[in-house]
């Protein structure tokens, strides 16, 4: 067999393995090993498999991921997220669909302290969804809002997906972080507008919520809610001023979250143990995929698939290339896990981007936006699965995917705006530096 | 395999261009597929990858594998005292091609060294101005390697190690005050000229790397005529990268001056301090290498490098450093023509 | 055997967890040192990369396997009858065992090689890295044992871990 044929057979093998519920990282890694063996012989296969794990994972930049995960877990375990939702509710309760909008607002705020959209969705599905269902909200709207606004965490820095992207295309993490702020706020605003409009046109979706909280309770809620935005402010400030690298801001944020938990008397040994083991296990699970994908990327490269793919893009303008890539990524996003998509595609796309002189920061925001759409689009939407898992039988998967559809349409509009107006992404990082 | 981007000086000329030239010279009989940006193996494992036959040819940076290439790294430590980057590149190449101890070290690692590069001199690229030794005191300086670390410490500065990608923002935000980098970092890739305010051209050593390391079996399996084609093109590839470095430095400094950066010369005091430090490096290096790297006394190898650098300084003294063919001609006549393609690296 | 594996799984999991805390404190001290005292902690980046990251990723492998925390896609799985689901689980476990065993075996070779040459990385301090390389085979091999036990012994061979969700 030719190398290209083996490569395409490998892609088929991976889909088969993932289909029979082999862990994604294992599927990619083992296909890569046996694929390289088939193409080049056993010695190179062993050589590549030996070379990658330690050097890939032993990377200072990647350590931002466990730090931001830890910060998110501590925030959830110390119930800092609950306060956030409660406080957002006070302000937004009166507008139509106020609870759903509160979810978006609180998720955006928490997203600025958490690197993982799945973690954000998980946190708010336990807090916000029961409250909305009790208030007779449409289950699709309730769960859709949580699933979609969870994705804000990937777009609003810090973001695990952004770190992975930057490592893959070799560009500045902090610059991309800054570039995500305005698109994140734009998306959150668009979500809230959409929710409000829909609920005004169809009041049955979200019966008016009767706010029973007393003034004293409101003050208590606000008092409960302020620390997390403060942590966010420090973390973002550190990144914006360049005082901290990504890892450093993660460590500082996690440290501050621990301090707050301690000050609130919510830090105990059991909670700390849960947070650290969840962080370690979560980091391990993510990086097993990263490792598998890194091996698979070598297999893809050796199989000359990048050249083959680049052949398709020959002779198109930069804009057409960007739009074609977007379409491909949306399609892949429907059925694949997001980090794996980036690990698979970026090594292929990076030379193409360079060839067309496409701005890596702007393109990075587009990629992250596409990935956030993938997180909620059927049939494989990680955020949707997390919500389904934590709610059990109260909602069906179809209801959630149905509710999410509206948010995906908003996402696509925002995406179009991001493509049409690169300034939305590039203005803020431009403020950081004088000449870039 | 090459871990640098295709447009990097050490990829564009000695790899992309080299592959084209070799294919042409052999009418397509020998074609290299270049994997850039570490797409095949991560940079630190390049040596292992070549030995395992993952790649037939790769660029190896000895400081990534100090334990595997201790003697080569000792020579690299000595490059802190180099006086001419072009001569250093060719002296290093000749040393590694002809010195039995160094050849043995490459052979132990499963590779055959066939040519090396030298970066341009490392300069101070700073926010504040550095002209004399006392300017360095208390400053946070980004360094790479032990010689640079000790040099900055000896001036009372604070050496810091940050990834090269973070140097730009580090300078901008003041988490570092200076970086020791070669001048091509000003415009290409890292674009330090966008943030830095001053450059001081004090030549603080070079860093050596192996541009061409071949897999042993691959090299031995070639026809002598093919090996000849490779040797000739290697000479050309090395010459081209050094010329590109030279032109790059000139352009970067000129461009920086144009952008308003202050390009400064060191004071005599700073030059003397450096010279004294360099003398002490030469003196202490053999004992230090024996103690820290666990090798036998490298004095003979180090002396040979110094002698070779002197020899090459004379050979390239008058050459036009912007003319790759002229530089290549000298390199061929004095080194590569003398290598016997029938026997070298085959036994 | 099951008991011992369970103990080891927990032990490695907790070591990884403690590493997370160490990483946070180490980086914090470096940050404070850098800004307050103009004295960064030398070697922070190297130690974080070579030790904390490696421990945090490879030691909890067995724990993640036991807790069913590996990231999988269940589109097909959800739609097939229970008998077919059982077959899929076993097949997936077999693929995983082979993969982890291969990685464990190779990384053992890498680790012993690093140990023989007393491997270090050059930074501002010279950091010895070979001990970190042994964490990989430990992690992989324990994961292999965990999966083998449940493949061979069925439910009796299942390693128990604290059951909180591993959602990331
Ligand atoms: Na975020
Ligand atoms: Na999806």
Mean predicted confidence (pLDDT) in B77-92: 88
Among the listed ranges A23-37, A118-132, B60-74, C58-72, which one has the minimum average pLDDT value?
Answer: A118-132
* A26 chain-C contacts, CB cut-off 8 A: 70, 92, 95-96, 99-100
DSSP string, A311-363: HHTTT--HHHHHHHHHHHHHHHHHHS-HHHHHHHHHHHHHHHHHHHT--HHHH
pLDDT above 80: residue A329: yes
Residue B166 DSSP class:
G
Which residue of chain A is at minimal alpha-carbon distance from C132? A54
Among the bound ligands, name the one nearest to the CA of residue A382: 2
CA-CA distance, A160 to A250, in Å (whole number)? 11
Mean predicted confidence (pLDDT) in B131-135: 86
**Mutating which of A14, A20, A391 best tests the C interface, going by the most C Cβ atoms within 10 A?**
A20
Q: What is residue B113's three-state secondary structure? A: strand
Domain boundaries, chain A: 61-295+306-430
Among A54, A67, A250, select the one facing C133 at the smallest CB separation: A54
State in Å: Cα A376 to ligand 2 middle.
5
CA-CA distance, A135 to A130, in Å (whole number)? 9
Residues 6+ apart with CB under 8 A from C79: none
CA-based nearest residue to B345, from B214, B200, B158: B214
Which tokens sit at B244? 């590109």
Among the listed ranges A299-313, B12-26, B217-231, which one has the minimum average pLDDT value?
Answer: A299-313
Q: Which chains touch A (3 or more CB pairs under 8 A)?
A: B, C
Among the listed ranges A238-252, B182-196, B250-264, which one has the minimum average pLDDT value?
Answer: A238-252
Average pLDDT across chain B, whole number: 85
Which tokens sit at C10? 């927990």
Residue position matching structure tokens 């050249």: A307
pLDDT above 70 coverage of chain B, percent: 97
Write down the pLDDT at residue C163: 46
For the segment A17-36, what is each residue's pLDDT rounded down to a tens digit? 888 888 888 888 999 999 98
For the segment A165-222, what is each residue's pLDDT rounded down to a tens digit? 887 777 877 788 888 989 999 999 999 999 999 988 888 887 776 667 777 777 777 7
Residue A153 — φ and ψ, nearest 5°?
Answer: -60, -25
Q: How many CB atoms lie within 10 A of CB C29?
A: 14
pLDDT above 90 coverage of chain B, percent: 5
Among A61, A241, A434, select the one facing B173 at the smallest CB separation: A241
A47, B52: Cβ pair inside 8 Å?
yes
Asked whether the beta carbons of C145 and C151 are under 8 A apart, the reply is: no
Q: What is residue B111's three-state secondary structure? A: strand
A251, C166: Cβ pair inside 8 Å?
no
B149, C40: Cβ pair inside 8 Å?
no
> Chain B contact for A297, CB < 8 A?
yes
Residue C73 sits at the vertex; the CA angle it makes with C69 and C79, to the nearest 5 degrees, is 120
Which tokens sit at B140? 């946070």
| End-to-end CA, chain A | 48
pLDDT above 50: residue B92: yes
Q: Do the strands B158-160 and B140-142 form a parallel or antiparallel pair, or are they unpaired? A: parallel
State in Å: Cα A342 to ligand 2 middle.
13
C34, B175: Cβ pair inside 8 Å?
yes
State in Å: Cα A382 to ligand 2 middle.
7
For the segment A88-113, what is each residue's pLDDT rounded down to a tens digit? 777 777 788 888 888 898 888 878 77
pLDDT above 60: residue A303: yes
Write down the pLDDT at residue A211: 66
Burial class (CB in 10 A: 0-12, 13-18, 19+), A223: exposed
Which tokens sit at B31? 């074609």
CA-CA distance, B1 to B50, in Å (whole number)? 9
Residue B128 — φ and ψ, nearest 5°?
Answer: -85, 175
Asked whether the beta carbons of A108 and A137 are under 8 A apart, the reply is: no
The residue that leads in pLDDT, B140 or B189, is: B140
Which residues of chain C from 54 to 113 reach within 8 Å of chain B, CB to CB?
Answer: none
Which tokens sit at B173? 């935000």
Model confidence at B186, in pLDDT bands (50, 70, 90)?
Answer: confident
Write down the pLDDT at residue A434: 40
* B67 chain-C contacts, CB cut-off 8 A: 114, 117-120
Among B66, B159, B292, select the one facing C124 at the smallest CB separation: B159
**Mutating which of B11, B38, B41, B217 best tests the A interface, going by the most A Cβ atoms within 10 A?**
B41
Provide the shortest C-alpha distance from residue B27 to chain A (in Å): 22
Q: What is residue A137's three-state secondary structure? A: coil
* C52 chain-A contacts, CB cut-off 8 A: 63
Angle, helices A305-312 vs A338-356, to 10°: value is 60
CA-CA distance, A65 to A70, in Å (whole number)? 9
State in Å: Cα A334 to ligand 2 middle.
3
CA-CA distance, C49 to C133, in Å (whole number)? 12
CA-CA distance, A134 to A210, in Å (whole number)? 12
Residue B52 DSSP class:
T
Mean predicted confidence (pLDDT) in B142-151: 84
Which tokens sit at A245? 């690298």
CA-CA distance, B324 to B236, in Å (whole number)? 7
For the segment B297-318, what is each residue's pLDDT rounded down to a tens digit? 888 888 888 899 889 988 888 8
* B68 chain-C contacts, CB cut-off 8 A: 117
**Mutating which of B41, B67, B147 best tests the C interface, going by the most C Cβ atoms within 10 A?**
B67
B162, C38: Cβ pair inside 8 Å?
no
Asked whether the beta carbons of A107 and A124 are under 8 A apart, the reply is: yes
State in Å: Cα A29 to ligand 1 middle.
28
Mean predicted confidence (pLDDT) in A128-148: 86
Asked whether the beta carbons of A403 and A358 are under 8 A apart, the reply is: no
Mean predicted confidence (pLDDT) in A4-29: 86
Note the ipTM here: 0.79
Among the listed ranges A246-250, B152-156, C153-157, which one has the minimum average pLDDT value?
Answer: C153-157
Q: How many CB atoms lie within 10 A of CB A417?
A: 14
Q: What is residue B197's three-state secondary structure? A: coil
Among the bound ligands, name the one nearest to the CA of residue A72: 1
CA-based nearest residue to A163, from A59, A272, A291: A59
pLDDT in tens, chain C (168 residues): 777 888 888 888 888 889 999 999 999 888 888 777 877 777 777 788 888 989 999 998 888 888 877 767 766 777 888 898 888 888 988 999 999 999 999 999 888 888 887 777 766 667 788 888 898 999 999 889 888 888 888 777 777 776 444 433
DSSP string, C36-90: HSS---TTHHHHIIIIIIHHHHHTTHHHHHHTT-S----TTGGGS-HHHHHHHHH
> Chain A contact for B5, CB < 8 A?
yes
Q: How many CB atoms lie within 10 A of CB A371?
A: 27
Q: Is C38 left (phi over 0), alpha (psi -120 to 50) or beta?
A: left
Handedness of CA B143, B144, B145, B148 (dihedral sign): negative
Quote the longest CA-to-CA distance of chain C. Answer: 65
Mean predicted confidence (pLDDT) in A312-324: 82
> Chain B contact for A435, CB < 8 A?
yes
Asked whether the beta carbons of A399 and A172 are under 8 A apart, the reply is: no
Residues of B with CB under 8 A from a CB of C: 63, 66-68, 73, 138, 140, 143, 145-146, 149, 158-163, 175, 292, 294
Write down the pLDDT at residue C105: 93
CA-CA distance, A421 to A49, in Å (whole number)? 43
Among A47, A61, A172, select the one facing B169 at the smallest CB separation: A172
Handedness of CA C148, C150, C152, C156 (dihedral sign): positive
Which tokens sit at C33? 């040192």
pLDDT above 90 coverage of chain A, percent: 11
Which residue of chain B is at minimal alpha-carbon distance from A170? B165
CA-CA distance, A280 to A273, in Å (whole number)? 11
A350, B37: Cβ pair inside 8 Å?
yes
Mean predicted confidence (pLDDT) in A298-325: 80
Average pLDDT across chain A, whole number: 81
A62, C77: Cβ pair inside 8 Å?
no
B68, C117: Cβ pair inside 8 Å?
yes
Write down the pLDDT at residue A435: 36
Which residue of chain B is at minimal alpha-carbon distance from A343? B39
**Polymer length of chain A:** 436
Which strands sit side by side in the sheet containing B122-126, from one edge to the other?
B158-160, B140-142, B178-182, B122-126, B198-200, B262-264
* A56 chain-B contacts, CB cut-off 8 A: 42
> Chain A contact for B56, CB < 8 A?
no
Burial class (CB in 10 A: 0-12, 13-18, 19+), B253: buried
* C136 chain-A contacts, CB cut-off 8 A: 53-54
Which residue of chain B is at minimal alpha-carbon distance from C43? B161
* C59 chain-A contacts, CB cut-off 8 A: 280, 284
C117, B67: Cβ pair inside 8 Å?
yes
Model confidence at B244, in pLDDT bands (50, 70, 90)?
Answer: confident
State in Å: Cα A360 to ligand 1 middle.
19
* A343 chain-B contacts, CB cut-off 8 A: none
For the segment A77-86, what is each residue's pLDDT rounded down to a tens digit? 777 777 777 7
Domain boundaries, chain C: 2-166
pLDDT above 70 coverage of chain A, percent: 92
State in Å: Cα A183 to ligand 1 middle.
12
Residue A374 DSSP class:
H
Among the bound ligands, name the one nearest to the CA of residue A155: 1
The residue that leads in pLDDT, B285 or C162, is: B285
C123, B161: Cβ pair inside 8 Å?
yes
Q: Which chains touch B (3 or more CB pairs under 8 A)?
A: A, C
CA-CA distance, B324 to B243, in Å (whole number)? 6
* A57 chain-C contacts, CB cut-off 8 A: 53-54, 57-58
State in Å: Cα B150 to ligand 2 middle.
53
B158, C114: Cβ pair inside 8 Å?
no
CA-CA distance, B95 to B118, in Å (whole number)? 13
A244, C31: Cβ pair inside 8 Å?
yes
Write down the pLDDT at residue A415: 92
Write down the pLDDT at residue C165: 40
State in Å: Cα A110 to ligand 1 middle.
8
Mean predicted confidence (pLDDT) in A299-319: 79
């Amino acid at each position: 067999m030719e190398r290209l044929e083996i490569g395409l057979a490998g892609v088929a093998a991976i889909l088969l393995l993932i289909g029979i519920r082999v862990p994604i990282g294992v599927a990619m890694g083992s296909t890569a090993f046996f694929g390289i063996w088939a193409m080049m012989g056993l010695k190179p296969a062993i050589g590549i498999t030996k070379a990658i794990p330690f050097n890939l994972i032993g990377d200072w930049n990647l350590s931002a991921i466990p730090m931001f995960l830890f910060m998110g877990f501590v925030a959830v375990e110390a119930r800092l997220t609950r306060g956030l939702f409660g406080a957002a509710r006070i302000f937004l309760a009166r507008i139509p669909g106020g609870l759903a909008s509160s979810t978006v607002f609180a998720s955006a705020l928490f997203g600025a302290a958490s690197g993982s959209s799945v973690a954000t969705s998980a946190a708010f599905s336990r807090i916000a969804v029961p409250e909305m269902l009790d208030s007779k909200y449409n289950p699709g709207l309730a769960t859709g809002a949580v699933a979609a606004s969870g994705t804000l965490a990937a777009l609003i820095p810090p973001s695990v997906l952004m770190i992975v992207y930057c490592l893959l295309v070799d560009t500045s993490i902090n610059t991309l972080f800054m570039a995500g702020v305005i698109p994140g706020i734009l998306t959150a605003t668009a979500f809230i507008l959409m929710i409000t409009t829909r609920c005004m046109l169809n009041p049955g979706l979200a019966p008016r919520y009767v706010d029973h909280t007393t003034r004293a309770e409101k003050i208590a809620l606000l008092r409960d809610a302020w620390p997390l935005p403060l942590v966010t402010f420090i973390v973002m400030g550190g990144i914006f001023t360049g005082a901290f690298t990504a890892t450093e801001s993660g460590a500082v944020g996690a440290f501050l979250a621990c301090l707050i938990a301690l000050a609130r008397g919510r830090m105990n040994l059991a909670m700390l143990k849960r947070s650290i083991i969840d962080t370690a296990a979560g980091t391990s699970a993510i990086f097993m995929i990263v490792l598998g994908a890194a091996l698979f990327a070598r297999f893809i490269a050796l199989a000359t698939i990048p050249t083959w793919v680049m052949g398709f893009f020959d002779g198109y303008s930069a804009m057409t290339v960007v739009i074609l890539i977007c379409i491909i990524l949306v399609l892949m996003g429907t059925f694949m896990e997001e980090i794996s998509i980036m690990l698979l595609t970026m090594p292929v796309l990076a030379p193409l981007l360079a060839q067309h002189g496409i701005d890596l920061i702007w393109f990075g925001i587009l990629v992250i936006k596409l990935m956030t759409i993938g997180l909620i689009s059927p049939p494989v939407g990680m955020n949707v699965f997390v919500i389904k898992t934590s709610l059990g039988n109260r909602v069906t998967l179809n209801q959630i995917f149905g509710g999410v559809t509206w948010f995906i349409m908003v996402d696509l509009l925002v995406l179009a705006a991001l493509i049409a107006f690169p300034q939305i992404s590039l203005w803020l990082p431009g403020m950081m530096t004088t000449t870039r | 395999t090459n871990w640098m981007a295709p447009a990097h000086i050490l990829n564009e000329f000695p790899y992309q261009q080299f592959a084209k030239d070799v294919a042409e010279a052999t009418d397509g009989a020998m074609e290299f597929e270049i994997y850039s940006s570490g797409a095949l193996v991560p940079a630190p494992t390049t040596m292992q990858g070549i030995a395992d036959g993952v790649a037939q040819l790769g660029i190896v940076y000895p400081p990534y594998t100090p334990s595997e290439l201790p003697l080569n790294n000792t020579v690299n430590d000595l490059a802190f005292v180099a006086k001419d980057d072009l001569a250093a590149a060719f002296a290093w190449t000749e040393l590694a091609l002809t010195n039995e101890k160094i050849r043995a070290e490459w052979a132990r690692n499963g590779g055959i060294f066939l040519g090396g590069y030298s970066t341009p001199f490392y300069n101070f690229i700073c926010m504040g101005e550095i002209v004399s030794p006392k300017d360095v005191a208390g400053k946070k300086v980004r360094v790479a390697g032990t010689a640079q670390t000790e040099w900055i410490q000896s001036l009372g500065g604070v050496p810091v190690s940050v990834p090269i990608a973070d140097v730009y923002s580090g300078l901008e935000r003041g988490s570092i005050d200076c970086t020791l980098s070669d001048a091509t970092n000003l415009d290409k890739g890292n674009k330090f000229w966008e943030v830095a305010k001053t450059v001081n051209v004090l030549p603080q050593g070079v860093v050596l790397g192996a541009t061409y390391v071949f897999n042993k079996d691959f090299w031995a399996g070639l026809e002598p005529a093919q090996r000849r084609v490779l040797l000739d093109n290697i000479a050309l590839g090395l010459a081209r990268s050094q010329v590109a470095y030279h032109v790059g430095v000139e352009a970067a400094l000129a461009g920086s001056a144009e952008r308003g950066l202050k390009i400064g010369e060191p004071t005599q005091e700073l030059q003397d301090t450096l010279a004294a430090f360099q003398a002490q490096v030469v003196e202490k290096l053999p004992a230090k290498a024996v103690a820290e790297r666990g090798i036998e006394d490298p004095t003979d190898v180090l002396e040979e490098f110094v002698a070779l650098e002197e020899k090459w300084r004379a050979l390239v003294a008058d050459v036009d450093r912007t003319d790759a063919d002229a530089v290549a001609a000298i390199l061929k006549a004095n080194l590569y023509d003398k290598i016997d393609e029938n026997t070298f690296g085959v036994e | 055997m099951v008991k011992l594996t369970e103990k080891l799984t927990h032990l490695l999991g907790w070591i990884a967890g403690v590493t997370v805390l160490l990483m946070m404190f180490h980086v914090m001290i470096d940050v404070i040192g850098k800004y307050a005292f103009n004295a960064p902690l030398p070697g922070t980046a190297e130690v974080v990369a070579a030790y904390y990251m490696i421990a945090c990723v490879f030691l909890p492998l067995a724990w993640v396997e036991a807790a069913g925390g590996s990231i999988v896609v269940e589109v097909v799985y959800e739609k097939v009858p229970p008998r077919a689901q059982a077959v899929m689980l076993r097949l997936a476990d077999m693929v995983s065992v082979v993969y982890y065993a291969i990685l464990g075996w190779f990384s053992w070779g890498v680790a012993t090689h690093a140990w023989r040459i007393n491997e270090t990385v050059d930074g501002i301090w010279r950091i010895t890295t070979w001990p970190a390389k042994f964490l990989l085979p430990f992690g992989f091999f324990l994961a292999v044992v965990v999966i083998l036990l449940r493949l061979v012994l069925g439910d009796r061979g299942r390693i128990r871990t604290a059951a909180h969700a591993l959602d990331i």
